[in-house]
Amino acid sequence: MWSISEQEGVRYLHFGSPLVQGAMRIARPYALELEYTRDMMLPLLLRGSARWPSSVLQVGLGSGSITKFLHRYRPEARLVVVELHEDVVDIARNYFKLPEEGPKLRIELAEGFDYLARQRKPFDWIIVDGFDGDGHAGALDSASFYHSVRAHLTEQGMLSVNLVGKRVNQRAARDRISNAFEERLVSMERDGDGNSIVVAAVGDRIECPAAKLRTNGAALQKETHVEFASTVERALGKVAMSGGPFRL
């Protein structure tokens, strides 16, 4: 079902197809090798505080790159990762240096939709990156799931979602997210890439001058040695040319 490939110092994870499910630069195992995973970190730049988030739910483990990044660079955050397949967890540990569980990291074997529905405590940040080898997210890309996510966020909570597949299907998914979050979202796409990242927010409106967002990106890059300038510019979009602030 799964396979691993290596090319030019990067190890890739596949689930029964050429579609890349995760990647790790062997010399830098805690970095974010794939650009779309960096875009999913936009909430860190918007909140701009080392104290945020205090709690994270990650749905879909893959190679564990996001898990490792947050576990290392936001060590005070309580991180819960929900993964449907036990063999994926084993792969991430054996081939991609997934840390062992501890007080701040817990791995749950469960279906993400059902797991979230059972939760009583909200999360500061919910990250959704779960799909099969063909790019199908199933119930994780449904109106009821996105409304459940909204209901399980704290007052200043945020959502990051990786959308995969045909652009027409991604647009439909964005509409479902927009409906659940009252149109408070930003979408980031890359040319020649099948991934599209959507970030949504609740609580107080976010208004961040473009210069401040670039400063936050540079600060996180200095802290983590991961490049975030491209993420900032994709988030700014047309705002970068107008000179106005980023609003969410």
**Within-domain flag for 50:** yes
Least confident interval from 40-44, 110-114, 134-138, 236-240: 134-138
**Within-domain flag for 42:** yes
Catalytic residue positions, numbered: 129
Asked if the model's pLDDT at residue 183 lies above 60, the reply is yes
Asked if the model's pLDDT at residue 132 lies above 80, the reply is no
Give the pLDDT confidence score for residue 133 in this predicted structure.
Answer: 52
- Cβ-in-10-Å burial (0-12, 13-18, 19+) of 18 comes to exposed
* Rounded-to-integer distance, Cα 22 and Cα 19, Å: 9
Give the pLDDT confidence score for residue 130 in this predicted structure.
Answer: 81
Asked if the model's pLDDT at residue 138 lies above 80, the reply is no
**Within-domain flag for 5:** no
* Rounded-to-integer distance, Cα 67 and Cα 100, Å: 11
Least confident interval from 130-134, 147-151, 209-213: 130-134
**Within-domain flag for 72:** yes
Give the pLDDT confidence score for residue 185 in this predicted structure.
Answer: 97
Q: For residue 184, give the CATH number of its domain.
A: 3.40.50.150
Domain range enclosing 71: 32-236
Least confident interval from 22-26, 77-81, 132-136, 173-177: 132-136
Q: What is the mean pLDDT of residues 173-200?
A: 90
**Within-domain flag for 187:** yes
Q: What is the mean pLDDT of residues 177-186?
A: 97
Give the pLDDT confidence score for residue 165 in this predicted structure.
Answer: 78
**Within-domain flag for 228:** yes
Query: In terms of DSSP bridges, do strands 10-15 and 78-83 run parallel, antiparallel, or are they unpaired?
Result: unpaired
Sign of CA dihedral 35, 39, 45, 47: negative
Domains contained in the chain, number: 1
Give the pLDDT confidence score for residue 242 in this predicted structure.
Answer: 75
**Within-domain flag for 19:** no
Query: The whole model's pTM is what?
Result: 0.94
Give the pLDDT confidence score for residue 135 in this predicted structure.
Answer: 57
Give the pLDDT confidence score for residue 48 in this predicted structure.
Answer: 73
Give the pLDDT confidence score for residue 63 in this predicted structure.
Answer: 93
**Within-domain flag for 8:** no
